[in-house]
Amino acid sequence: MSDSKFPNHFDGKRFYNPDAPEARGFLDVVRWKLTSRPEPSPSFISDVEQSVPPQRVEGRGLRITLVNHSTVLLQQLGLNILTDPIWSERASPVAHIGPRRRRKPGVSWENLPPIDAVLLSHNHYDHLDLPTLRQLAARGDSTFVVPAGVARLLRSENIGPTHELDWGESLSLLGFTIHCVPALHFSARGIYDRNMTLWCGYVIECQERLTYFAGDTAFGNHFAQIREKFGSPHLALLPIGAYEPRWFMSPVHMGPDEAVRAHEILGAKTSIAIHHGTFQLTDEGLDTPKKQLIACAKDEPFLILENGQFADVP
């Protein structure tokens, strides 16, 4: 169901970011790789204390557990929602190449409670991890919510039931409503499918409480649009990593300073940092985003959780 007039973002064949720079192209990727000077980080950090979430959280309280990267477990009113789940060792289409996990998940697979809804923000490998999704589907009872064009991939893997949403569309499930909202990013899983599927964030509405999951996004005017339409969220999950070098990454990823600006524009009661600390995808060090956020967030209610840590939002 659509009840919003977000800007047009589809030209009949491919999706695009309206009134914003597009992601850099192939020649820019080559330039980045030839000039890249990645900040050194350990190959693996054994500092994660895994936690065991409750099976359900009853009442109005909201518990947020950071599993890793952009994988967050949201528990409220007896409902469990999981965002962009990845338990794999690599964020990659193949087993032995691509970004490798530098920290283990904060919740073991065996201790993951039943999941009612899985929200996928776009089709990049660090956000749409097919091995994890297959395991979730095999457990049963999970509904998968995806942006426009992504359902075909999941259905080809017998992952479902799947609901596809465009910006401005909504889906009511089990006592909560999921609203699909804009993000500034791009999509691709191969060489020839760039921007053939949509990218998005989600606003989760549950008993007058709003939770905003931004997915992957650059900084832009969509934060003001989201606040204008829905009001200030009680909780915002905002990405802070994969931002260096800025000349290459700024059209698709926020830096920590921009995440703080987004938090302020949204008027979020509390924000939690995601998209950092597990995979080193770009040139900044694994824990540099966290350090930068601490330096620029100051007195703002912007929390940094380690893998496995949780927070209770009243």
> What residue ranges do the domains of the chain occupy?
57-309
Q: Within the chain, how many helices (H) and strands (E) appear?
A: 7, 14
pLDDT at 47 (0 to 100): 97
For residues 238 and 263, is the Cβ–Cβ distance under 8 A? yes
Which amino acid would we find at residue 30? V
To 5 degrees, how large is the angle CA 136–CA 139–CA 142? Answer: 60
**Does an H or E element contain 222, and which?**
helix 222-230
Dist CA 105 CA 71 (whole Å)? 9
Output the DSSP codes for 229-295: HH---SEEEEE-----SHHHHTTT---HHHHHHHHHHHT-SEEEEES-SS---SSS-TTHHHHHHHH
Rg, Å, the chain Cα set: 18
Residues 6+ apart with CB under 8 A from 302: 238, 259, 260, 263, 270, 271, 272, 273, 293
pLDDT at 27 (0 to 100): 87
pLDDT at 4 (0 to 100): 55
Which CATH architecture does the domain made up of 57-309 adopt? 4-Layer Sandwich (3.60)
**pTM of the shown model:** 0.96
What the block records as the tokens of 238 is 């905002």
Report which of 224, 217, 211 is spatially closest to residue 179, judged by C-alpha positions: 211
pLDDT at 33 (0 to 100): 86
pLDDT at 145 (0 to 100): 98
pLDDT at 299 (0 to 100): 86
What residue ranges of the chain have pLDDT lower than 50? Answer: 1-2
For residues 266 and 212, is the Cβ–Cβ distance under 8 A? yes
pLDDT at 1 (0 to 100): 47
